[in-house]
Amino acid sequence: MTKRHLYLQWDSTDSCNLRCDQCYHEQQGNFEHKQMKHLMSLEEVFSMIDDLDETSKRWNMIPDFAISGGEPLMRKDLYEILDYTNKKELQTKLLSNGTLITKLVAKELKNRNVRGVQVSIDGGREMHNQIRKMPFAYDKAIEGIYNASQEKIPVNVAMTLMKNNKDQFEEVIQGAISAGAIRVGFKTYVPNSSLGLLDPNFLNAGEFYEIALKAKELKLKYQKDIEVLTSDVLFQVMAENHPLIESAKKENKFLSGCSIGYRAISVLSDGAVYPCRRLPILIGNIREGLVKLFVETPIMKEFRDMGKIKERCSCDRVVHCRGCRAVAFAVTGDYLSKDPMCYKELIKE
């Protein structure tokens, strides 16, 4: 039987050794207020892992556990947590800035059967360092990727695509290849909700369309060296028609695309739960349990009602796209409204 994945992204800590321009922690004031928060204890973390393990078995899904931050390697009991996830045989990944992955750290991660590391690279050396506000951030991240790759830990490089770095995806690909990463892709930037469309880093639909087309070219150009992922949700807009899409739409069922409401959830360092890490709407606490949070939370139910998605995001691609709900919320204040980055109307036949 083909199983779906049940994805839990956990902010293990609010601490970080970098202060990136686009970081949602910065926007949400977490660095300033972290002293006021009660971080989940090791016992609470183990309970969350048990819950993910048991719920995925219950639902016949594959548990995916992504440990984020802050920077996850800043959490002092990280190795104890990884020992536990290894014992539970979860597919565990780290979402890291890469700068702290020394040879020794890479070995420790490998010993705990970490299945993958995602390292963020946001441009060539100069651009990346400028965004990270740290002179050697790029070189340290590349070194971290190399160290993990040497230990045969698969590394994906992820770029956050913004106005100021949108022309540097190819440089990111080349950096990823040089360090030994096996995949590279990008995620769209979610604008600061207080600025919305006026956020200077926000990409409009036309700009995103150009990049999406370029990414398809680069996928072919570098296919022998690395896998260029075209997995951002808005790539679905370019998908050809297929019976699966028709069937899903007819039955009002989720096929693929943005997983919000269906198979992904985000837990903050204090146990608070968001539908997605990029969508800061509190839906509960992890102590309530994943079954309740997924099945009973009203907002999660709204996301599963395809008929509630508004305007152009209710198009014939709704069952495998739905746009980015976080971008829609940041721009309009309505998480069911259209994704302003959708370029479907711009596609030339």
Partner 1 sequence: MEKLEVLATEQEFLDSMIDLDQYTPLVKGQSNYLEKEKYSCDPCDACGPASCSDCKGCALD
Residues numbered 280-339 forming contacts with partner 1, rule: CB under 8 A:
291, 294-296, 304, 319-320, 324, 326
Angle of the 78-87 helix axis to the 42-58 helix axis, nearest 10: 30
Cβ closest to partner 1, residue 39 vs residue 153: 153
Cβ closest to partner 1, residue 5 vs residue 19: 5
Cβ closest to partner 1, residue 202 vs residue 294: 294
Number of residues that bind partner 1 (CB under 8 A): 73
- Beta pairing partners, 53: none
By CB under 8 A, residue 42 contacts partner 1: no
Q: In 10 A of CB 345, how many CB atoms?
A: 10
Tell which positions 205-224 bind partner 1, by CB under 8 A. Answer: 219
Query: To the nearest whole angstrom, how small is the minimum distance from the Cβ of residue 35 to partner 1?
Result: 28
By CB under 8 A, residue 118 contacts partner 1: yes
User: Residue for token digits 């800590």?
Assistant: 13
DSSP string, 29-94: THHHHGGGS-PPPHHHHHHHHHHHHHHHHHTT-EEEEEEESS-GGG-TTHHHHHHHHHHTT-EEEE
Distance CA 174, CA 328 (A): 32
Cα of 114 vs its chain's centroid, Å: 17
Distance CA 106, CA 147 (A): 6
Is the N-terminal amide bond of 98 cis, ω within 30° of 0? no
Tell me which amino acid residue 130 is. Q
Distance CA 161, CA 185 (A): 10
By CB under 8 A, residue 235 contacts partner 1: yes
Tell which positions 54-73 bind partner 1, by CB under 8 A. Answer: 54, 57-59, 62, 64, 66
Span near partner 1 by CB under 8 A; candidates 32-40, 136-144, 259-267, 280-288: 259-267
Distance CA 266, CA 251 (A): 28
By CB under 8 A, residue 227 contacts partner 1: yes
By CB under 8 A, residue 263 contacts partner 1: yes
Cβ closest to partner 1, residue 115 vs residue 312: 115
Distance CA 54, CA 6 (A): 11
Tell which positions 73-92 bind partner 1, by CB under 8 A. Answer: 91
By CB under 8 A, residue 132 contacts partner 1: no
Residues 163-202, one symbol each (x = binds partner 1 by CB under 8 A, - = not), give --------------------xxx-xx--------------
Cβ closest to partner 1, residue 32 vs residue 88: 88
Residues 140-159, one symbol each (x = binds partner 1 by CB under 8 A, - = not), give --------------x-x-x-
Span near partner 1 by CB under 8 A; candidates 1-9, 12-20, 78-86, 165-173: 1-9
Distance CA 321, CA 313 (A): 8
Cβ closest to partner 1, residue 33 vs residue 308: 308
Q: In 10 A of CB 282, how many CB atoms?
A: 11
Span near partner 1 by CB under 8 A; candidates 27-35, 114-122, 162-170, 191-199: 114-122
